[in-house]
Chain A
Amino acid sequence: MLNSTQRNSGTDTAHRQLSSSPFHADHSSTRVSASRYDAPAAESHTCLQVSSLSAGYGRSQILKDVSFCAKQGEISGLLGPNGCGKTTLLRALCRQLPFTGSCLLNGRPLEQMTARQLAKQISYIPQRSGIAISIPVIDVVLMGFNPVLSLLAQPSRAQKEKALKALRAVGLESYAGQDYQTLSEGQKQLCILARTIVEDASLLLLDEPESSLDFPHRHRSMELLTEIIRGQDSSHADSHTSAEDTSNERTAFYGKAALVTLHDPQLALKYCSRLILLKNGVCTAILQPAKDSLPDMEDALSEIYGPIRLRAFEEKGCLSLILLPRV
């Protein structure tokens, strides 16, 4: 067992070690570079540090003593079978559920932030977006500007253009004027992703953003997500110079991190720098696909998904991981 693969340790000290260690080790031949997207810098700051978090609904405790960290510039994947507490974890981080333990967002305890600060720093996408009325797609995207707009202000022209740009990024620009309710579920998810782009928050919490998407769009949206958290999207390049949303609380200082629950482990292995495996509300392991060895990951994934095989597949010098049921 490699030391970066933690077995349900849940201790603070171990995680501090993790966060201070440089993310990317050298590529030796035995290690699998699962992600095409290598971390941009050797040192990336911890965006979210969760220590011994427990949460639940009412008296029933769903999450027990979960600890992990999410670093900026990385996608952290939450994997686990249905009902293991993935959504509960995200909802606790949004302060929608009572929790115990500590959560530090960019060094500040979550519970000390005001609701508005939280909204500026965290962008949350629920499994199904709760937009129940007919409104144009572009208006849905423009909702993303609400945390930076004052109460009575209207989105500016620059913000409308940014919203159109975000729609173009997800491939929905021809639907901008169309009713959101007439979109397919997958298109709705892409539209909400566009809203996340304009929100420009430092922590992205996504609850199964890929569940309704077809194969190409799954990969496209994960690539987009990677671009968003790496700050490669040009739509924000001008946002800090424009007068209406200069806000020093935002991502000017911090990069972005994403915490994503996924049902597709293949997708997770390909795009996530860090995998947090949950089973029955307990964190069983934290994997780093770029660092950990194949057998270790296979063991860890088998623990939550039952017997599986993990194989590496090379094409044009690029290694991919393939997950198969054990025969």
Chain B
Amino acid sequence: MRTEQKKNANPNTHFRRTTHHWRSAHTETQTQAGYLQTQTDQLDSAVPYSQTDHPDSAALHAPAANVSDSASCESVQHTPGHTARHNYMQRSTALYLSALLLLTACVISLLAGKYPLSLEKILAGDAMQLQVLLTLRIPRTLMAVLGGFALGAAGFVFQTVFRNPLAAPDMIGVSSGASAGAAFAILVLPASAAAVTLSAFAGGLLAVGIALGLASAAGGYGGGLGLYRYSRKTASSSDDEMHSHQYSDKSNTSSHRWTYSRRYTGGAASAGSGSIVLAGIAVHSLAQTVLMILKLTADPERQLASIEYWIMGSLNAITLSRIPFYCTVCAAGLAGLFLLHRQIILLSVDEAEARMLGVPVGRMRLLILLLATLVVASVISVTGVISFIGLLAPHIARLLMRDNRLHTLTLSGLLGGVLLTAADILTRTVTASELPVSIFTSLLGAPFLLYLIMSGNGGKNNAE
């Protein structure tokens, strides 16, 4: 295996380097200098050294040219640089390929369906064809692409922030809240699609709001110690008040006592991921109970059927008038997540360490979870619950990329978009009647994930 060879080949150079004074590292061997350049090229922006900024850049460039000349030299073939460049190629290929797939799926999605469209007729100006394209197919395709992208990206965010490969938006109650909200609208509100959507959106946000609120009230305890420390906190809550009192009294003296002050415990500022998960589970089961009660009271002929059908998820009923608000909310949330991607990765670091790296852990986690929830809620309130994309897409992306960076987040989104669009195409072409979209998202995604795991195409276990 390539990685193994590299590890074996390295110790010599490694040890020699360590005997140098670390400032005198300009005396690069040719291969290492070449490697260094590969690395700098590989860094996200792929900016080459600028000659003016760095006096040693010339020295770095010159040997790099030699490396490519002497490619027959055996040592070059096993340098990490070679592997890194290979990986880099592989990664950008995955990114471009999935973007291309998404584009293809888009085109097919626009044309395929119960009323097939063809490019010639649309270009010829067939009024019926144009009508269908504009009012049905474009909104539906837009929702599939954006929705899939959003679910995939949000899944990546949830898994990273909770450091849990099984984490999904359902974990903090967004989908069960939305389901309960939709059921409520179907039963109580006047029958209209817009009301159901709005109620589902509100239900999803409400559930997550309650979960995060509960977690904040429980205090700032994170990680696996959530439960353990929680009991301690309640035991000493009387001390808490006393000490924070002392803190405010003596805050202008340098030797004051401060224990259990808000700076590192309670309040919304630092709800730990452990307590968020626990609160999420509680809210999730509460919402399921509400849903069950609503189902019990529903009229089995019409209402129960439409509740069940909503929960199964479909992009069937999407029209142009219904989606602009939800698409805007979703896009805004996604933009926020992409802007904050560096913080998302930092949140995956141990809480104490992240805090000392200057991350306001509690607040940042709340903000990112709220953004991700907003994104997910805006999608599933329109489409109904769509399972597996949020779980599958990030894992496929990680297996292909083998890391967690901005491009992994992007790939998660792209793959989510491909999955949902392709699944949606299948729902309206396989049989005469429309099928729930979740059937196909898992039918398409799960085998591919299994294939990636089996083939050893990715995963750090195989690289070692």
Contact = CB atoms under 8 A, between A and B. Distances in A.
Partners in one complex: yes
A91 interface: yes
Contacts of B81: 174
A177 B84 contact: yes
B258 A111 contact: yes
Contact of A139 (B235, B255, B405): B405
Interface in A88-106: 91, 94-96, 98-102, 104
A119 B460 CA distance: 32
Interface string A223-267: 010010000111000000000000000000000000000000000
B36 A119 contact: no
Contacts of B260: 98
Contacts of A132: 163, 348-350
A160 B353 contact: no
Contacts of A119: 355-359
A58 B232 contact: yes
B353 A126 contact: yes
Given A100-B257, A144-B357, A164-B40, A175 B80 contact: yes
B125 to A, nearest CB: 46
A58 B49 CA distance: 52
A169 B232 CA distance: 44
B457 interface: no
Given A173-B36, A174-B13, A182-B460, A130 B232 contact: no
Interface string A120-143: 101110100111111110110001
Contact of B348 (A131, A149, A165): A131
A312 interface: no
Nearest to A166: B22
B255 A102 contact: yes
B302 interface: no
A220 B17 CA distance: 11
B264 A178 contact: no
Chain B interface residue number, banded: 35 or more
Interface stretch (A1-9, A69-77, A150-158): A150-158
B254 interface: yes
A171 interface: yes
Contacts of B35: 173-174
A216 interface: yes
A179 B236 contact: no
Contacts of B351: 130
Given A126-B352, A143-B346, A157-B45, A98 B259 contact: yes
A69 B25 CA distance: 35
B129 interface: no
A130 B10 CA distance: 26
Interface in B319-355: 339-340, 342-343, 345-346, 348-353, 355
Contacts of A146: 342, 346, 357-359
Given A124-B356, A182-B3, A182-B463, A95 B403 contact: no
Contacts of B160: 133
* Most chain A C-beta atoms within 10 Å of own C-beta, residue among B47, B87, B263: B263
B352 A124 contact: yes
A46 interface: no
Given A58-B236, A94-B352, A133 B22 contact: no
B39 A138 contact: yes
A81 interface: no
A120 B259 CA distance: 23
A58 B264 contact: no
Given A120-B358, A146-B357, A126 B350 contact: yes
Nearest to A139: B405
Q: Do most interface residues of chain A lie in helix, strand or loop, or is the interface mixed?
A: mixed
B15 interface: yes
A143 B359 CA distance: 10
B53 interface: yes
Given A95-B263, A124-B352, A133-B348, A217 B18 contact: yes
B23 to A, nearest CB: 5
Interface in B119-142: none
Contacts of B87: 177
A36 interface: no
A118 B354 CA distance: 12
B284 interface: no
A115 interface: yes
A168 interface: yes
Interface in B208-255: 232, 235-236, 243, 254-255
B43 interface: yes
Given A134-B404, A174-B80, A115 B352 contact: no
A179 B402 CA distance: 8
B40 A104 contact: no
Contacts of A164: 36, 39-40
Given A133-B163, A160-B40, A224 B464 contact: no
* Most chain A C-beta atoms within 10 Å of own C-beta, residue among B15, B17, B38, B160: B17
A130 B81 CA distance: 27
B32 interface: yes
B267 interface: no
B401 to A, nearest CB: 9
Given A136-B403, A151-B340, A152-B339, A143 B23 contact: no
A160 B43 contact: yes
Interface string B392-427: 000000100011110000000000000000000000
Contact of A181 (B22, B50, B405, B460): B460
A164 B26 CA distance: 12
A96 B354 CA distance: 12
Given A119-B356, A131-B348, A151 B343 contact: yes
A130 B163 CA distance: 10
A115 B53 contact: no
A306 interface: no
A146 B364 CA distance: 13
Nearest to A219: B18
A96 B358 contact: no
Contacts of A323: none
Contacts of A102: 254-256
A82 to B, nearest CB: 20
17 contacts: A51-B255, A59-B232, A94-B352, A94-B355, A98-B258, A116-B360, A124-B353, A133-B160, A138-B39, A144-B357, A148-B358, A151-B340, A174-B13, A177-B42, A220-B18, A233-B23, A234-B23
The 9 closest A-B pairs by CB, nearest first: A130-B350, A147-B358, A119-B358, A169-B22, A177-B84, A124-B356, A102-B255, A98-B259, A58-B232
Interface of B: 3, 10, 13-15, 17-18, 22-23, 25, 32, 35-36, 38-40, 42-45, 47, 49-50, 53-54, 79-81, 84, 87-88, 160, 163, 232, 235-236, 243, 254-261, 263-264, 339-340, 342-343, 345-346, 348-353, 355-360, 398, 402-405, 460, 463-464
Given A98-B259, A101-B257, 10 more contacts: A115-B360, A116-B358, A123-B356, A129-B353, A133-B348, A143-B357, A154-B44, A160-B43, A171-B17, A173-B17
